Amino acid sequence: MHAVQIKELCKSYKNSSFTLQINDLSLEAGSIFGLLGSNGAGKTSLLKLLMDIVRPDRGYIEILGHRPSEREKLQAKISYMPENKNLYHNMTVKKMLDYASAIIPGWDNDKALELKNIFPLEGKKRISTLSYGEKTQLYAILTFARSADLFILDEPTRGLDPIMQEQMLQLIKEESWQGKTIIFSSHQLGEIEESVDSLAMLRKGHMVLNGNLDDLKSELFLLKLEKSKISAIPPSTLDIIATHHQHKQSLILCQGGMEARQKLQADFAFLNTENVNIKDIFLLLMENGGEEE
Amino acid sequence: MQLTVRTICISIINTDGAVQGVTCLIWVKVDFHSGEPVYQQIAQSMKGDIISGKLSRDELIPSIRELARDLKINPNTVARAYRELENEGYIYSRPGVGYFIKDSDKKTMEEKALEILAKEMAGIVDIARNYQVSRQKFTELVMQSINSAYGGDE
């Protein structure tokens, strides 16, 4: 079952050449989905489109069986942590949490108490005096103290120290074990690789790659060879995703399973193929190659 | 980050009316940042334990949810590993009870071991070829390693 489905989505902005275009993206219910991309790639825009904070020029979005504009049906099912984690400056932490418990639908007091232990913030502190990381922790309590089916989190670990970062990822995983769907954006390739089931990489508004993490690792490989030897390989034998040249060496990100890899190595003795991790894939795709706009 | 997990599971198996208690100890190490898919790392690790005899027939292995929790990964990933192990004849499932190590004769185990070795060897041969080591020198090196592990000097 799909928690989110997107088709032929397009969103442009006034006075900006940036356009977000997602042709086909589906997220399985109960999975953790990671959104990667350099600054300005369109991660926050995509999350805002899901939340109906901005509306698309055209295209189709379905969330938990509804259109994003059906707010009253979705309100109780989605919990959102925005990129901007500014809250009421003058309130104290305690007052903010009391206020939230009174107005946020689906607020679970027991869960809020557990979360306050995980993210121990001083209740007396004014929000204006909190660091960015502390504001994120406060937002984490507000986001996860609600019973929701889908959590949309915009950079939920930004500004957190490594221990709190680990707590946040643990929280995300625990929600997914209970069948909840989580979508989160991040710049931390490591945390994405450790926690997501599937992911998408955005580059300048285009989705250059998406899929199940294990599938991507099985289906992609890196070819390392001397630049001068590229011409010896007929282009039709390779399914190239991205290339990067450094000094005398070329790194080529290719698509193909184990059999394709073995055949390639048998046919061209000078070739060297390697497994790729998320960092390899990301750096190669963001530097060049991928879908051209 | 590498994660090492020890899962102990005590199983009670009812064979011919008799109740047996079996304790199995499983170590699964997962490297999230390796290029090898996580489900394959789990399957590979268990295959090694089965072939080397650390896990023997009819032992109950951790449930999908237990192992997923220990490794802090999605149950679907463990399910995928177990599916591969089941398809390749390493484990079997008893609905409602769990997954067990399948009975295999020595010959089958040796065949499976050779299958894994062939894959590992292919990688090593590639390295040798990339380093431009001659066939003769490489054969000598392999023989040396074999002799030091198995004994003998031929």
How close A245 gets to chain B, by Cα (Å)? 20
Structure tokens that stand for A90 in this block: 């003058």
Percent of chain A exceeding pLDDT 70 equals 98
Please compute the mean of the pLDDT values over residues A29-53 and round it to a whole number.
94
DSSP A160-171: --HHHHHHHHHH
- Give every CB contact of residue B152 below 8 A, 6+ residues apart in sequence: none
CA-nearest of A204, A207, A239, A245 to A221 is A239
Of residues A271 and A169, more confidence is placed in A169
Say whether residue A249 is in contact with chain B using an 8 A CB cutoff. no
CA angle A205, A209, A214 (to 5 degrees): 145
In tens, the pLDDT along A122-151 reads 999 999 999 999 999 999 999 999 999 999
Distances in Å between the Cα of A261 and the Cα atoms of A8, A214, B119, B123 are 33, 17, 13, 12
- Give residue A246's pLDDT: 83
- Give every CB contact of residue A29 below 8 A, 6+ residues apart in sequence: A1, A2, A3, A149, A179, A181
How many angstroms separate the CA atoms of A139 and B10, rounded? Answer: 42
Please compute the mean of the pLDDT values over residues A260-264 and round it to a whole number.
84
Can you tell me which residue has the tokens 């049906």?
A: A73
Q: Looking at the predicted structure, is the pLDDT value of residue B20 above 90?
A: no
Q: Are B121 and B103 in contact (CB under 8 A)?
A: no
Q: Name the residue ranges covered by the structural domains of chain A.
A: 2-204, 215-287
Say whether residue A193 is in contact with chain B using an 8 A CB cutoff. yes
Q: Enter the DSSP assignment of A66.
A: B
Q: Looking at the predicted structure, is the pLDDT value of residue B23 above 60?
A: no
Of A176, A190, A275, the CB nearest to B34: A275
How many angstroms separate the CA atoms of B38 and A212, rounded? Answer: 11
Distances in Å between the Cα of B98 and the Cα atoms of A30, A151, B22, B38, B95 are 22, 32, 14, 21, 6
The predicted complex's ipTM stands at 0.77
Can you tell me which residue has the tokens 């589906």?
A: A26
- Give residue A230's pLDDT: 81
How many angstroms separate the CA atoms of A267 and B125, rounded? Answer: 15
Q: Are A224 and A265 in contact (CB under 8 A)?
A: no
Average pLDDT value for chain B = 81
Structure tokens that stand for B21 in this block: 């208690």
CA-nearest of A37, A39, A28, A45 to A181 is A28
In tens, the pLDDT along B50-81 reads 888 888 888 888 899 888 888 888 888 999 99
| Start-to-end CA span in chain B (Å) | 42
- Give residue A288's pLDDT: 63
Q: Looking at the predicted structure, is the pLDDT value of residue A158 above 50?
A: yes
Say whether residue B89 is in contact with chain A using an 8 A CB cutoff. no
Say whether residue B37 is in contact with chain A using an 8 A CB cutoff. yes
**CATH of the domain spanning A2-204:** 3.40.50.300
Of B33, B37, B122, the CB nearest to A190: B33
How many angstroms separate the CA atoms of B32 and A201, rounded? Answer: 18
Nearest-Cα residue of chain A relative to residue B66: A177
In tens, the pLDDT along A171-206 reads 999 999 899 999 999 999 999 999 999 999 999 999
Backbone angles phi, psi at A34, to 5 degrees: -105, 140
- Give residue B12's pLDDT: 47
- Contacts with B80 from chain A: Cβ below 8 Å: 214
Say whether residue B126 is in contact with chain A using an 8 A CB cutoff. yes
Domain over A215-287 is classified CATH 1.10.760: no
Q: Is the dihedral of CA A188, A194, A196, A200 positive or negative?
A: positive
Interchain contact, A31 vs B74, CB within 8 Å: yes
Q: Looking at the predicted structure, is the pLDDT value of residue A251 above 60?
A: yes
Nearest-Cα residue of chain A relative to residue B2: A194
Can you tell me which residue has the tokens 């004014």?
A: A126
How close A139 gets to chain B, by Cα (Å)? 24
- Give every CB contact of residue A193 below 8 A, 6+ residues apart in sequence: A213, A277, A278, A279, B32, B33
Helix axes A109-118, A132-144, angle to 10 degrees: 150
| Largest interatomic CA distance in chain B | 62
- Give residue A119's pLDDT: 94
- Contacts with A190 from chain B: Cβ below 8 Å: 1, 32-33
Nearest-Cα residue of chain A relative to residue B72: A173
- Contacts with A261 from chain B: Cβ below 8 Å: none
In tens, the pLDDT along B93-144 reads 998 888 999 877 778 888 888 988 998 898 888 888 888 899 999 999 999 9
Interchain contact, B35 vs A213, CB within 8 Å: no
* Best of A172, A176, A182, A217 to mutate (most B CBs within 10 Å, chain B): A217
- Give residue B25's pLDDT: 67
Please compute the mean of the pLDDT values over residues A104-126 and round it to a whole number.
93
Say whether residue A251 is in contact with chain B using an 8 A CB cutoff. no
